[in-house]
Amino acid sequence: ETGVTQTPRHLVMGMTNKKSLKCEQHLGHNAMYWYKQSAKKPLELMFVYNFKEQTENNSVPSRFSPECPNSSHLFLHLHTLQPEDSALYLCASSSRDRAQYFGPGTRLLVL
Amino acid sequence: EDKVVQSPLSLVVHEGDTVTLNCSYEVTNFRSLLWYKQEKKAPTFLFMLTSSGIEKKSGRLSSILDKKELFSILNITATQTGDSAIYLCAGNNAGGTSYGKLTFGQGTILTVHP
């Protein structure tokens, strides 16, 4: 339960706000991921970081800006979001050739 | 584009029943197939399958992979109300790296009535 933590757990923001989501993993993993889960849609991969280097950007709009200062921390900076960006944002981490472990998520509502 | 399809989309059973959840995949550079259980929070890891025909078991849950036919099944025997959840299947595209990326299916919503 405490292997991957995310803050805040809930966030309400206006379309002109700037906010950041934080993820921290305590599992000694080398890769970290951001996913978006919208209602009635499959989990969508957004970004992948391996050893702090971004290796995947799944055509995510520039209003989402990831940052990975080290292998244990991952941020998602949000600015000028749209109401359709409201979703559950999940962070995950993994080691080489191993399963990804997820954090509890941040439920985001954009008004 | 990678694709994972799960069936059925929803399933309602009574306690004690046995259920089989299906997952078919089309994933380039396929490395592994993963199953997760999601209740009102984050998906929790169940199984990772890499080899065809080898069953993985954990208590009442088991899963098997068929790499020739590109599918996997998740079996739950003697279901309990605590098994009610969304079950997610994901294919791992190695993509030339050691970590790859997951493509998820839409999930199967399982409801177990007492």
Q: What is the pLDDT along chain A (111 residues), one digit of tens a residue?
A: 469 999 999 999 988 889 999 999 999 999 999 999 998 889 999 999 987 787 777 789 999 999 999 989 999 999 999 999 999 999 999 988 789 999 999 999 999
Question: Nearest CA to B89 among B108, B70, B76?
Answer: B108
The tokens 């309602």 sit on which residue? B12
Mutate to test the interface with B, among A52, A54, A100, A106 (most CBs of B within 10 A): A100
User: Which of B102, B106, B107 has the CB atom closest to A100's CB atom?
Assistant: B102
Choice between B31 and A97, residue whose per-residue pLDDT is larger = B31
Question: Nearest CA to B90 among A53, A39, A37, A76?
Answer: A37
Q: Residue B96 — very low, low, confident or very high, per pLDDT cuts 50/70/90?
A: low
Closest CA of chain B from A107, distance in Å: 10
Residue of B nearest to A93 (CA): B99
pLDDT at B99 over 80: no
Residues from chain B contacting residue A25 (CB–CB below 8 Å): none
CB contact under 8 A, A105 and B34: no
